[in-house]
Structure 1
Amino acid sequence: MRRRMTKGHQVEEESSPSTEAMEPEPAPAPDAGSAEPQGGAVAEEDLAGETGHLQSEFDALNDRHLRLAAEFTNFRRRAEHEMTEAWGRAQADFLRRFLDVLDDLQRVSALDPSDEAVSLQTVVDGIDLVERKFTRALEEASVEGVDPSPGDPFDPATMEAVMLVVSSSPEDDDTVDQVFQKGYRFRSHLVRAARVSVRKNE
């Protein structure tokens, strides 16, 4: 504060500007609870967007998985149905080959022995016809006979030895002596082994 003289010799005191008034007022502190930091809000938005994107991809993959599973189930059912149908047709075709044989057997069994026109030769011819038809039907079905002859080497893979016959000749050792029953093979599978007697040298 400074003094100055006026015309009436009065002294006025003149205040100098306060140093306190010259100091800037501090800015009010931001209210921490009024708003969240902008960076955190952006991060949450990015996370929400990424989560939604991943959920969409998961839903698409899950839908594709369900459709593929349904298609595979339908394919398996169709394959099983087609296999069953094919097996049924093969069996029907196999059995159809023997229907003519059955018809011939029924004709032979229907012959009247008291009929003078029916002779023993007629019956034999009928049975022979049935045998030829039956054999042909087996061949058409890929069934072939295993019919060894006496003197053939014994084959344990296709023959069953039901009897041993002592032989004095070394050359006859392990050879077929007699055939009691033919064997049969269906393609590469042995259906029944031929039953034979086998010579053994002692």
Structure 2
Amino acid sequence: MDQENKENLDENLDQVAEETHSEAQEEQTKNADNKTSLADELAMQKDKNLRLFAEFENYKKRTTKERLDLYKTANESLLGDLLPVLDDFERATFEISKAEDEGLLKGVELIHSKLVNILKNKGLEAIETSTGDDFDLDKHEAITQVPSPSDDLKGKIVDVVETGYMLNEKVIRYTKVVVGK
């Protein structure tokens, strides 16, 4: 019986060893799967964090640009309201020059030049337009079309009615022109 017990014991030990070995292999497989899934999850979190960081950086750049644009055009409404006053000064200067009153003309020109210099310092620029220039939709507003006095003025500016202005390279008032057809 000792032999039989010994054989049974050996069989049981072999069986237990096999079970232990297969359990260990299963555990190793599970650990490897866990490591792989943890590595994948870590990679996903790193990617998510990088994307979030990049999105935040883009947000900061965009808001900084918007803030700078706002500072550049903060006076746009005020300067737009002052443009008719500037036009009135130009008309007054023209009419006073006809009256031949030197003192009055110099006084009005002095006030006009001070106003123009202040507005230039704030970023306001007149859009230079003259007769014969090409019509540009980005800078000009056609009030009307008239028969062109000559063939070379067809589709070109025949007369400038009102000066246009730009504030920091943005048109705040288009030049009003008459175009030849």
Q: TM-score, normalised by structure 2?
A: 0.56
- Aligned counterparts of 2:35 and 2:132: Cα–Cα separation in 1: 81
Tell me how far 1:89 sits from its aligned partner.
4.6
- Aligned counterparts of 1:188 and 1:120: Cα–Cα separation in 2: 32
Match of 1:13 in 2: none
Tell me how far 1:162 sits from its aligned partner.
1.4
The answer to which structure has the higher helix fraction is: 2
What CA RMSD, in Å, does the superposition of the two structures yield over aligned residues? 4.2
SS of 2:147's equivalent in the other structure is: strand
> Residues 162 and 82 from structure 1, CA distance in 2 versus in 1: closer, same or farther, beyond 3 angstroms?
closer
Q: Does 1:49 align with 2:34?
A: no
Match of 1:73 in 2: 52
- Aligned counterparts of 1:66 and 1:167: Cα–Cα separation in 2: 69
Q: Unpaired segments of 5 or more residues in structure 2?
A: 79-84, 86-103
Which of the two has higher C-alpha Rg?
1
Asked which structure has the greater RCO (Cα within 8 Å, sep 6+), the reply is: 2
1:63 equivalent among 33, 42, 48: 42
Tell me how far 1:196 sits from its aligned partner.
0.8
Q: Which amino acid aligns with 1:45?
A: A
- Aligned counterparts of 1:162 and 1:93: Cα–Cα separation in 2: 29
- Aligned counterparts of 2:72 and 2:150: Cα–Cα separation in 1: 50
Match of 2:118 in 1: 133
Match of 1:198 in 2: 179
Deviations 1:84-132 (CA, angstroms, capped at 9, x unpaired): 2454255436658xx9xxxxx9xxxxxxxxxxxxx78545522321112
> Residues 76 and 43 from structure 1, CA distance in 2 versus in 1: closer, same or farther, beyond 3 angstroms?
same
Aligned length: 150
> Residues 191 and 43 from structure 1, CA distance in 2 versus in 1: closer, same or farther, beyond 3 angstroms?
farther
Q: Unpaired segments of 5 or more residues in structure 1?
A: 1-26, 100-104, 106-118
Q: Which amino acid aligns with 2:30?
A: T
Where does 1:99-110 land on structure 2 (aligned, <5 Å)?
A: none
The answer to which structure has the higher strand fraction is: 1
- Aligned counterparts of 2:135 and 2:146: Cα–Cα separation in 1: 13
Percent sequence identity is 16
Tell me how far 1:188 sits from its aligned partner.
7.6
